[in-house]
Amino acid sequence: MPAILISIRMKKYLSNADLIVIVITFLLFTIALFTKGLTHDLLLEAGVLLVSIKIIMMNHKNTVSNTLIMKDLDEIKQTLIEIKNNKKI
């Protein structure tokens, strides 16, 4: 049950593509852990995992930023429409 709850919460912040990348990357990391063991190659796999996580975090930050910018642009547009309508009267 908690896994479903976490999944629902994650969908609020991440797209389906992000979730797919997370799952695939984690699965590949886990497979590498068992096939390579605790060797130098594991550090490379951990680096790939961290890069994937960083890209997903940057994507989320950009999505939030774009949403705020669109909200501000909509407010500016509404203000301009109101100014235009007041000048006609």
Query: pLDDT by residue (tens digit) across 27-59?
Result: 887 887 777 776 767 777 778 778 888 888 888
Phi/psi of residue 37, nearest 5 degrees: 75, -170
Distance of CA 77 to the CA centre of its chain: 28
The rounded Cα 39 to chain-centroid distance in angstroms is: 31
Cα 72 to Cα 22: distance, rounded to the nearest angstrom? 31
The pTM of the whole model exceeds 0.75: no
